[in-house]
């Protein structure tokens, strides 16, 4: 027997194309989202006839294809016509008007940005885009710090569709009236995939990313099941990649259930870290308190859940403590009464910024 015979050699890999597991890899086909893509395309269609397009607020929980479906539509549009600028901005990465404006310059091919102020650049953008029309996709819109940019394009770009994407439907409630009334966005809800769809999507990615036959069926099924429980395709992609990496480290020619088990453990650690560090959770919670000042903490938590929040009650309570410490809110404990002890949360009008703490 040769101990090394069945081991993966140094120059061999289980991966065929690892890039296919990147979160922003856009597959050739995007199954199960045909209806949504068609709807988006229809909102853009008037632009092709030189009329104004529709505006949308696309919402739904994370990891269910909102970004992918929208980018897919933009890619098709780009292949179809030169008369419409497809502009995609991730507002988490570009969170100020100035960053967005320079990004748009780059996307429409305007190069003379040096030493120009934002308003000067915006003038150039207007000149260029108003000769044609544009679709503006502002993804993760809840991360945008200043809304002035939306107002500017609403007012100054003649023919456009604006698609805003967020995990939180309630984000629209916080939008300035001045913008809201001009935007008149229709709501498009993306629903979670069911188990069969989740499995189908992961299978497709597996075929792109791996050499045939390297996955044991049971190992893949385990990932499909876990992803379906977590309801987030991104965690499935993470598990595919991590399991294979672990298998490679052990020089295994097959990816089996043990590799997947270890990957799942790592994922659990990773999600815990992720959910404790997020600043936008706290902003989201504060927005809810602002609208429902003088509410009981339990009622606020229900609202938070209903609007798409995913933290546990314990973590939610910790965030409330943090907001109290930062003097954004006040917490008043009541004792006795019909419902026993509870806390009443009040919003304190403050000019302090959340980034200050």
Q: How far is the CB of 91 from Mg ion (least distance, A)?
A: 11
Q: Which is nearer to ligand ADP, 121 or 141 (CB)?
A: 141
Q: How far is the CB of 166 from Mg ion (least distance, A)?
A: 9
Kindly give the residue spans of alpha helices, DSSP state H, lying in the chain: 34-48, 66-80, 97-108, 118-129, 148-156, 177-183, 195-209, 217-230, 233-249, 257-277, 279-291, 297-306, 313-325
Q: Which residue of this chain has its Cβ atom nearest to ligand ADP in the complex?
A: 65
| 27 lies in the site for ligand ADP, by CB under 6 A | yes
Closest CA to 58 of 74, 69, 47: 69
Beta strands in 288-349 (DSSP E): 295-296, 329-334, 342-347
Q: How far is the CB of 201 from ligand ADP (least distance, A)?
A: 4
- Contacted entry of ligand ADP, Mg ion, none for residue 327, CB cut-off 5 to 8 Å set by kind: none
- Cα 102 to the chain's mean position, in Å? 22
| 153 lies in the site for ligand ADP, by CB under 6 A | no
Residue found under tokens 């008037």: 46
Using CB under 6 A, which of 20, 30, 219, 289 touches ligand ADP?
Answer: 30
x-or-dash pattern for ligand ADP, window 68-87, by CB under 6 A? Answer: x-------------------
Q: Which is nearer to ligand ADP, 238 or 301 (CB)?
A: 238
Distance between CA atoms of residues 162 and 154, nearest Å = 9
Total number of residues binding ligand ADP (CB under 6 A)?
A: 17
Give the end-to-end CA distance of the chain in Å, rounded to a whole number. 63
* Sheet with strand 160-166: strands edge to edge: 84-90, 133-139, 160-166, 56-59, 186-189
Q: How far is the CB of 197 from ligand ADP (least distance, A)?
A: 7
Q: Which is nearer to Mg ion, 236 or 323 (CB)?
A: 236
What DSSP state is assigned to residue 277?
Answer: H
- Contacted entry of ligand ADP, Mg ion, none for residue 206, CB cut-off 5 to 8 Å set by kind: none
Q: Which is nearer to ligand ADP, 83 or 197 (CB)?
A: 197
Q: Which is nearer to Mg ion, 67 or 97 (CB)?
A: 67
Q: How far is the CB of 70 from Mg ion (least distance, A)?
A: 8
Q: Which is nearer to ligand ADP, 67 or 161 (CB)?
A: 67
The string of DSSP codes covering 22-82 is STT---S--TT-HHHHHHHHHHHHHHHTTS----EEEE--TTSSHHHHHHHHHHHHHHH-S
Contact 170, 142 (CB under 8 A): no
Please count the residues of the chain.
Answer: 357
Q: Which is nearer to ligand ADP, 171 or 347 (CB)?
A: 171
Distance between CA atoms of residues 106 and 148, nearest Å = 20
Q: Which is nearer to ligand ADP, 68 or 300 (CB)?
A: 68
| 14 lies in the site for ligand ADP, by CB under 6 A | no
- Contacted entry of ligand ADP, Mg ion, none for residue 53, CB cut-off 5 to 8 Å set by kind: none
Using CB under 6 A, which of 43, 54, 56, 66 touches ligand ADP?
Answer: 66
Contact 153, 136 (CB under 8 A): yes
Site for Mg ion in 52-71 (CB under 5 A): 67
With contacts defined by CB under 6 A, name the span among 66-74, 253-261, 286-294, 321-329 that binds ligand ADP. 66-74
| 63 lies in the site for ligand ADP, by CB under 6 A | yes
x-or-dash pattern for ligand ADP, window 199-228, by CB under 6 A? Answer: --x---------------------------
Residue 87, token pair as written in the block: 């502009």
- Cα 345 to the chain's mean position, in Å? 29
CA dihedral 77, 89, 44, 39 (to 10 degrees): 90
- Cα 43 to the chain's mean position, in Å? 21
What is the binding site for ligand ADP (CB under 6 A)?
23, 27, 30-33, 62-68, 201, 233-234, 237
What is the binding site for Mg ion (CB under 5 A)?
67
């Amino acid at each position: 027997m040769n101990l090394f015979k069945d081991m993966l050699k140094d120059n061999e890999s289980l991966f065929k194309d690892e890039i296919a597991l990147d979160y922003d890899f856009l597959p050739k086909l995007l199954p199960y989202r045909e209806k949504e893509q068609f709807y988006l395309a229809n909102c853009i269609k008037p632009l092709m006839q030189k009329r104004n397009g529709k505006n949308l607020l696309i919402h739904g929980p994370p990891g269910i294809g909102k970004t992918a479906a929208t980018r897919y539509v933009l890619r098709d549009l780009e292949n179809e016509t030169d008369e419409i600028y497809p502009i995609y901005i991730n507002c988490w990465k570009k969170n100020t008007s100035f960053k967005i404006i320079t990004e748009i310059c780059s996307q429409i091919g305007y190069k003379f940005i040096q030493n120009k102020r934002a308003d000067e650049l915006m003038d150039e953008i207007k000149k260029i885009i108003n000769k044609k029309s544009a679709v503006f996709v502002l993804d993760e819109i809840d991360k945008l710090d200043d809304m002035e940019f939306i107002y500017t394009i609403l007012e100054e770009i003649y023919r456009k569709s604006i698609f805003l994407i967020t995990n939180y439907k309630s984000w629209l409630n916080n939008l300035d009236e001045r913008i809201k009334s001009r935007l008149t966005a229709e709501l498009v809800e993306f629903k979670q995939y069911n188990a069969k769809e989740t499995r189908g999507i992961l299978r497709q990615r597996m075929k792109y990313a791996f050499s045939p036959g390297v996955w044991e069926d049971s190992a893949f099924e385990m990932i499909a099941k876990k992803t379906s429980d977590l309801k987030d395709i991104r965690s499935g992609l993470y598990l595919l990649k991590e399991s294979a990496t672990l298998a490679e480290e052990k020089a295994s020619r097959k990816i089996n259930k043990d590799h997947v088990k270890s990957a799942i453990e790592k994922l659990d650690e990773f999600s815990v870290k992720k959910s404790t560090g997020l600043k936008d959770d706290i902003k989201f919670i504060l927005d809810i308190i602002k609208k429902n000042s003088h509410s009981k903490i339990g009622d606020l938590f229900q609202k938070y859940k209903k609007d798409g929040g995913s933290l546990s009650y314990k973590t939610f309570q910790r965030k409330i403590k943090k907001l109290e410490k930062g003097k954004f809110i006040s917490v008043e404990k009541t004792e006795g009464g019909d419902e026993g002890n509870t806390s009443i949360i009040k919003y304190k009008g403050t000019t302090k910024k959340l980034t200050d703490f």
